[in-house]
Every structure is written in structure tokens, then in C-alpha cells.
Amino acid sequence: MSENETDIEKISENIMEMTAEFQKMAHDFMETQNAQVSDIETDPMHIGETLIELTKYYSSHPDRLIEKQMTFWQDYMTLWQNASRKMMGDDTVEPVIEPAHGDKRFKDKEWQENQIFDFIKQSYLLTARSLAEAANETHPEKGHKKDKMNFFTRQFIEAMSPTNFALTNPEVIRETIESKGQNLVKGLENVIRDYNPETGKFTISMTDNEKFEPGRNVASTPGKVIYRNELIELIQYNPTTEKQYKKPLLIVPPWINKFYILDLRPENSLVKWLTDKGYSVFIISWRNPDKSMADLGMADYMRLGTLSAIDTVREATGEKVINTVGYCIGGTMLSCTLAHLAAKDTLDQIGCSTFLVTQVDFSEAGELTIFVDEKQMVDMEETMAKQGFLDGKTMSNTFNMLRANDLIWSFVINNYMRGKDPFPFDLLYWNGDNTRLTRACHSQYLKEMYLKNNLVKPGAITLNDTPLDLTKITIPTYIQAAHTDHICPWKSVYKDTWNFAGPKKFMLAGSGHIAGVVNPPSAKKYNHWQNDALPHDAEEWLAGAKSVPGSWWDDWHKWLVKKSGPKVAARIPGEGPFKAIEDAPGSYVKIRY
């Protein structure tokens, strides 16, 4: 038997093995779905309604449909002609269309050098452009319906990329031949690993979860839990300097994620960097809620969370005034808390506050608004009423859809078609460490912020019997945004400067929602923009800004150190009025479902 015949036989054996395993998994899946069919919402995001609008538009505007079809076919004929010329040896032919700058899907050299794959690539890109333009025209005016149409069209376009199919992905074909089909067998094993037959749910593995553990190699900065209630643990970190700044620093992270995004590894930990700079650092660790916590709303998160933490930090250190930091939705809650303190004439407890990628005005809140409208809220309310919470995987999937090529399809290709194990990556481990959201708090947050934009309307939101007015926040604020943030768009964050009344500094960092924040100076990555002026228009601010290489952390330190008071003897966790309960990172961060 020749070597080629042996290879073909081996590939056939592997494919037969893969087919048998797939049939077994498909059988298990169908049984699970049949058992749960009554509980399944077939179209929770109302995608069908959105696509029906596309059909209705072109049914009533057939002339526009014909025009777009003619344009598409003209481009396609040009592509055919160019392909024919290249087949005849003409190397001067220019592409009809090329991938957008930064599109990493077609980086394999075969997409450029192989005429067949080049034709497939350009055919896809032409079709994608035609579909996107057709969808964009459906709703001429800007608004929620137009954004929703464009978003779901983009999801379909990205899903249909030739890179996502084994027979049209040159890397997969090459690996299938070289491994004699073993990559497909291993890929199916990875599919089975990521599928839960008991729930019928499928979760794509983005990293090797066995390689990480909070307290061991993530969330490992030494400290103590000094306070605990039913919603939070408060961590005080060990000093690394003989003296610390007088005013302690309380960090309020988002409760939709675990806190240790700010304390991953020592080399990229904001917490460690701050302690090394001489700050007395405290951080809230939010509890991962269960059904018993369903009725905890925003007022509870403020009372048990931020207000409790502020009181504890002041008492633990003996300081009357502390400084605060809020990250994302944690910053939104911090702004509510500061408005509450201002209404109670106790804002003098806070010296200054820093807001990291934090929105308070949600009028232009970005693509997350796609998932928040009246119909989707009704469906979400029904789901949360049954469970008592929003499942963390639901929120995680939502965020992943915003960057589907990077956070969904790249892993589908790597794990299931190429048969590779995901690379150990601390950030992706954190990203997969999902957190539930209580029914009451999540519902109130979406309605008050995203649907009604009430936080910027003085008195429109009342928490703990206190009407909130952000314009009463008169303390100094440092407002940080990230240039390519797809969760809290930087122009939306810039609107914080419109609503806080005290001295303000706005700084724009390079990169996105995570890397734009977690960017230690030692990494020497990205840049940031500085401009002391605060014009009303965000683009005007950027036009007048100076681009500075590297991290913004040092700029923030220069601002914060002036507001942190003189140095005092370093504070040891557990030696004050609050005794150590357990070592950091505590117990709440380890709750997983």
C-alpha cells in the first residue's frame, strides 16, 4: 500500500470516528432540547422581526433592490474577469475589494497567493458589503431600529465568513492533510468538552481554565478581607512601602464581573502598582448572587456596597476623608453614591474621585443598547423572574457578540476545526469567570440608565429615599475613557464632564474597555491623549489634545498624589478596628455557578 493510500485510509478512519462521536452528541442534544422545549424562547432578541423589516422595505422599494443587485453583479463580473486574467498569468490585476484594516481573518498567505482562495475571499467581501449597505438603507434615520438592523446583519455576515468553514479555510485544510484528519477528531473532542448534556448549553473555551486559580496566580496581591456582609467583602491590601499616603483609596469595580481584572498578575495589576506607589488600597469584592438575593436592587447595592465600604475604610484607617475610584458600572454606582452623599451634606467624606470608562449619560451608550428595548426587557424580566437573576453566561455572550470575530469565531476555528487547545491567558480566564446579576438591580439599572437615561436628570432617580443630582458632585474628578471602547464609548464617557460640577480632568487612553484601563507603564503599550481644556464637544477636545506615548497610569498618579495628603505610617490590614477575616482574595470571588 502506498503512502498516499495509507494517508487517505487514516483520514477516513478519523472522519468515521468523528462522525460517530458527533451523532452521539447530536442525539443527546436533541433529547435535552425536547425535554426543555417549553422553556425555550425561540427568538429572545427578536431578530426575526428585525429581518422582516428588511424584507418589507425592499418589497415596497423594488427599484432600490434592483439597483443594488445590478451594482453587486457588476462588481462580481469584474471579479470574474480579474480572476480570469490572473489565471492567464496577469500579475498586474488589482483586487476588486480588500479586507478592512485590522481584519485578521485573512492573514494566511493562501488568501493572497492562491487564486482560488483569493476569489473566495473577494466574493465574500463583495457579498458582505452589499448586505451591509442594503441593511443600512432600511432605516434612513439614525436610531435604535437602524442600529439593531446593522448589528444583526453584521452578526450574520461575520458568521458566514469562509474562514469559519473547514472546506474554505486554507489553514484547516492544510492541517487536516498534515495530521491525517486528527485535527478534526481532536476538534470534536473539544466540542464535546464544551457541551453540557444536562443543560443543553454550549460554552466556547477561550483559555485553559485549569491553569488559573484566584489567590494563586490571579488575584494574588497579598491582603486581608476585613469586612463582609451579604453583598460584599472588603479587601485591604498589605503595604509594600514603609509609609503610605494619608488618604486611603477605595476601588469600586463593576459587579457584572469579578474584581480581579484590576489584579490579574503582578506585572499588570493596578492594585499592586498602587500599593507600590504608597497608596493604602481597599477594593470591593461583590458577591456572585444566588436566587435568594433576587430582590436586591440598586439602593441595596449602594447601601450594602459603596456606602458600607466608605464607612468601613474611614473607620478602619481613622481617616475622615478618603479617595475613591469607580470602574465601568462600578463608577456609575459610585456617582450615585457621591450624589447621595451630596444630598445628605456629607460629600466632604470624599476628597476626590476617579472614574474609569464610566458612563452617567446613556444617550449614546454604544452597541449594548441593541439588547435593551421594551420588547427585549419584557423577555428578560420573565427569565429573571423565574431564576431570580440574570445568568452570567448570558451577559458574557452579549459582550462577546460585540466582537464576534475575535471572541467567538477565532476560537471556533482554533478549538474545533484546527483541534488546538486554547492558550492559557489570564484575561480570558477572567472573562469566562462569569457573575450573575440580581433580578431587581439589573432590571432597575437597564430601565433607569439605558432606557430612560434618568441619572442625568436631577431628581429622576431616588435611592434610599434620596433624589440624586450629579450636578451636586463638587469634588475633583479624574475621568478616563478608552478610544476604541465598544462597551462605554469614549464620547459617551466624555459627557461625564458635563454633569459633574467640581474641578475635572479628562484623559483618553488608547485601546479598549479592558486594555485601555489595564495598561501598566512597564508594558510600554498604546498611548493616551491629554488636553486641559474641556470644550463641550468631544471631537473638539480630541482635536486639541496631545498624544503621549505609553500608559496613562503615571499621569493619573501625578494628579492623585496631590490629593492624597502627606505620608503616614503604613497601615497593616487587621491591626485596626476591623480584624482580618481571611486572606485576600476572599471567598466571594471564588463562588462559581
The pLDDT tens digits of the residues spanning 239-277 come to: 999 999 999 999 999 999 999 999 999 999 999 999 999
What was the pLDDT predicted at 16?
58
Averaged pLDDT for residues 404-419: 92
Instruction: Mark whether 297 and 173 lie in a shared domain.
Output: no
For residue 30, what pLDDT is reported?
45
Whether 187 is in a domain gets the answer yes
Share of the chain above pLDDT 90, in %: 71
Residue 59 — pLDDT band, cuts 50, 70, 90? confident
Q: How far apart are the first and last CA of the chain?
A: 53
Q: Cell for 164?
A: 469559519
pLDDT at position 317 is 98
User: Using CA atoms, how far apart are residues 52 and 41, in angstroms rounded to an integer?
Assistant: 18
Residue pLDDT, tens place only, 159-198: 999 999 999 999 999 999 999 999 999 998 998 898 887 7
**Amino acid 23: pLDDT:** 53
Give the distance from CA 493 to its chain's centroid: 16
Nearest to 358 by CA among 470, 474, 443, 254: 254
Mean pLDDT along residues 580-587: 98
- φ and ψ at 283, to 5 degrees? -145, 145
Same domain, 235 and 179: no
Q: Has residue 32 got a pLDDT over 50?
A: no
The DSSP output letter for 218 is: B
Range of the domain at 261: 223-372+434-590
Residue 35 has pLDDT above 50, yes or no: no
For residues 432-448, give the mean pLDDT.
95
Give every CB contact of residue 34 below 8 A, 6+ residues apart in sequence. none
Q: How far apart are CA 298 and CA 231, in angstroms?
A: 12
pLDDT of 449 above 60: yes
For residue 474, being part of any structural domain is answered with yes
Are 194 and 286 in a shared domain?
no
Q: What is the dihedral of CA 213, 214, 217, 222, to 10 degrees?
A: -150
CATH number at residue 347: 3.40.50.1820
> Are 182 and 282 within one domain?
no
pLDDT class for 1, splitting at 50, 70, 90? very low
Q: What is the pTM of this model?
A: 0.89
Q: What domain count does the chain have?
A: 2
198 domain residue, yes or no: yes
In a domain, 245, yes or no: yes
For residues 28 and 83, state if they share a domain: yes
Phi/psi at 106 (5° precision): -110, 35
The H or E element that residue 462 is part of is: strand 462-463
- Do 337 and 443 sit in the same domain of this protein? yes
Query: Which H/E stretch holds residue 14?
Result: helix 3-36
Q: Does the pLDDT of residue 199 top 90, yes or no?
A: no
pLDDT at 340 over 50: yes
The per-residue b/e assignment along 106-120, b for 16 or more CB within 10 angstroms, e otherwise, is: bebebbeeeeebbbb
The answer to whether residue 388 is domain-embedded is no
pLDDT of 6 reads: 56
Q: Which residue, 136, 171, 202, sits at the end of a domain? A: 202
Q: Which pLDDT score is estimated for 3?
A: 56
- Tell me if 421 is assigned to some domain: no
> Do the domain assignments include residue 88?
yes
- % of the chain residues with pLDDT over 70: 92
pLDDT exceeds 90 at position 367: no
More confident residue, 195 or 575: 575
252 and 110 together in one domain: no
| 314 in any annotated domain | yes
Stated as kind and residue range, the H or E segment containing 552 is: none
Residues 228 and 197 both lie in one domain:
no
pLDDT category of residue 38 using cuts at 50, 70 and 90: very low
Residue 478 sits in the same domain as residue 343: yes
440: which 3 cell numbers? 431587581
Q: Which residues are catalytic?
A: 328
CA gap 462, 455 in Å, rounded: 10
Q: Judging by DSSP bridges, how do beta strands 201-202 and 567-569 pair with one another?
A: unpaired
Q: Does residue 203 have a pLDDT over 90?
A: no
What is the SS3 assignment for 540? helix
Nearest to 146 by CA among 128, 157, 132, 160: 132
Give the span between the Cα atoms of 511 and 427, in whole angstroms: 15
On whether both 519 and 479 belong to a single domain, the answer is yes
Is residue 478 within 8 Å of residue 352, measured between CB atoms?
yes
Residue 226: phi and psi, rounded to 5, are -110, -5
User: What is the mean pLDDT of the segment spanning 274-293?
Assistant: 97
pLDDT of amino acid 12: 58
553, 521 contact by CB (below 8 A): yes
> Given the C-alpha cell 443527546, which residue does it identify?
28
The CA distance from 427 to 206, in Å, is 10
* Domain end marker among 142, 168, 202: 202
On whether both 75 and 179 belong to a single domain, the answer is yes
Residues 110 and 56 in one domain: yes
Which of 169, 202, 235 marks a domain boundary? 202
Q: Which candidate, 516, 454, 461, places its Cα nearest to that of 487?
A: 516
Segment (H or E) for 9:
helix 3-36
